[in-house]
Amino acid sequence: MEMFVTVLFIIIVVVVVITLSGRNPADPRLEVQDSPARITLDEAKQINRIACLRYIHPELARTLASNLQGDAWQIAQSGLCTTLLDDGQQDAALQLLSRFDAHHRGVALHNMLNHLIEAGDERQALELLAKSGDDLPQKPLLKIPLLRTAGRLDEARAELAELDECKGGSDALQLPRLARQQRAFEQREAATQMLDLAWQLIQAEAATQQYLGLEDLLKELVELGEYGRLQAIAEQLPVQQRPTAIAELIRAGLFAQALALLQDLPQYESNVLYEQMFGAMLERAQLVQADELLATLDGTLHTTLLTQLAQWHITRGTFNTAAGALQAQARNLQERIDLYLSLWKLQATERPALAATLLDQAEHWVSELAADEQDELRFFVLNARLSTQSRLPERQRTSYEIRRGLEEMERLLPRMDSYSRIANLGLLARLLQKLGRDEDTMARLAQARELLRHSGPQDELEDFDKALLLEDMAKTYLQLQRLDLALAARNEIPKEAMFDEHEWIAALIEHGHLQLAIEGLSLTTLLVLAQPLAALTTKIAELAEQGQALRSQLLARLSGDAFWEPSGTTA
- Give the pLDDT of residue 268: 87
> pLDDT-derived band of residue 494, with 50, 70 and 90 as boundaries?
confident
Please list, residue by residue across 131-157, b when 16 or more beta carbons sit within 10 angstroms of its beta carbon and e when fewer do.
Answer: ebeeebbeebbbbbbbbbbbeeeeebb
- Angle subtended at Cα 157 by Cα 152 and Cα 161, rounded to the nearest 5 degrees: 155
For residue 12, is pLDDT > 50?
no
| Closest CA relative to residue 530, chosen from 509, 552, 554, 548 | 509
- DSSP notation for 28-77: SEEEPTTSS-EEEHHHHHHHHHHHHHTTT-HHHHHHHHHT--HHHHHHHH
- Give the pLDDT of residue 169: 62
- Give the pLDDT of residue 263: 83
Q: Has residue 523 been placed in a domain?
A: yes
CB 385, CB 401: distance < 8 Å: yes
Count of domains for the chain: 1
Q: Has residue 428 been placed in a domain?
A: no
Report the 10 Å Cβ neighbour count for 415: 14
Q: How many whole angstroms separate alpha carbon 526 and alpha carbon 300?
A: 27
Q: What single DSSP character describes residue 527?
A: S
Q: Has residue 565 been placed in a domain?
A: yes
Q: How many whole angstroms separate alpha carbon 436 and alpha carbon 458?
A: 35
For residue 162, is pLDDT > 80?
yes
Each as own residue / partner, the long-range contacts of residues 347-356 (CB below 8 Å, 24 or more positions apart, any chain) are 347/314, 348/384, 348/387, 348/388, 348/391, 351/314, 352/388, 354/314, 354/319, 355/388, 356/388
Number of residues that this document lists for the chain? 571
Query: How many Cα neighbours within 13 Å face the side chain of 477?
Result: 21
Phi-psi category of residue 198: left, alpha or beta, with phi > 0 → left and psi -120 to 50 → alpha: alpha
List of residues 6+ apart from 386 with CB closer than 8 A:
401, 402, 405, 406, 431, 435
Q: How many whole angstroms separate alpha carbon 304 and alpha carbon 306?
A: 6
The more confident residue out of 24 and 269 is 269
End-to-end CA distance of the chain: 23
| Closest CA relative to residue 172, chosen from 230, 223, 208, 217 | 217
Alpha helices per DSSP H over 267-332:
267-283, 287-295, 299-315, 319-329
The two most distant CA atoms of the chain are separated, in Å, by 84
**How large a percentage of the chain has pLDDT more than 70?**
92
3-state secondary structure 396-423: HCCHHHHHHHHHHHHHHHHHCCHHHHHH
For residue 246, is pLDDT > 50?
yes
Domain that holds residue 538: 506-571
Q: Has residue 307 been placed in a domain?
A: no
- Give the pLDDT of residue 16: 42
Rounded to the nearest 10°, the torsion over CA 100, 101, 103, 108 is: 10
- Give the pLDDT of residue 530: 53
- Give the pLDDT of residue 21: 46
> pLDDT-derived band of residue 11, with 50, 70 and 90 as boundaries?
very low
Q: Has residue 562 been placed in a domain?
A: yes
Q: How many whole angstroms separate alpha carbon 318 and alpha carbon 320?
A: 6
- Give the pLDDT of residue 383: 97
- Give the pLDDT of residue 27: 54
Mean pLDDT of the region 320-339 = 96
For residue 557, is pLDDT > 70?
yes
Q: Has residue 281 been placed in a domain?
A: no
The more confident residue out of 190 and 544 is 190
Torsion sign, CA atoms 451, 455, 459, 465: positive
On average, the pLDDT of the chain sits at: 89
| Closest CA relative to residue 536, chosen from 59, 77, 68, 2 | 59
CB 284, CB 255: distance < 8 Å: no
> pLDDT-derived band of residue 485, with 50, 70 and 90 as boundaries?
very high
Helices 58-66, 533-541: inter-axial angle, 10-degree rounding: 70
Among 24-28, 147-151, 264-268, the range of highest mean pLDDT: 147-151
Q: Has residue 519 been placed in a domain?
A: yes
Q: How many whole angstroms separate alpha carbon 91 and alpha carbon 18?
A: 30
What are the residues facing 30 on neighbouring strands?
A: 39
- Angle subtended at Cα 415 by Cα 347 and Cα 391, rounded to the nearest 5 degrees: 25
CB 45, CB 73: distance < 8 Å: no
Q: Has residue 202 been placed in a domain?
A: no
- Give the pLDDT of residue 495: 75
| Closest CA relative to residue 558, chosen from 59, 140, 209 | 59
Q: How many whole angstroms separate alpha carbon 204 and alpha carbon 302?
A: 40
Rounded to two decimals, what is the model's pTM? Answer: 0.83
> pLDDT-derived band of residue 75, with 50, 70 and 90 as boundaries?
very high
- Give the pLDDT of residue 168: 58
CB 462, CB 447: distance < 8 Å: no
List of residues 6+ apart from 564 with CB closer than 8 A:
49, 523
> pLDDT-derived band of residue 384, with 50, 70 and 90 as boundaries?
very high
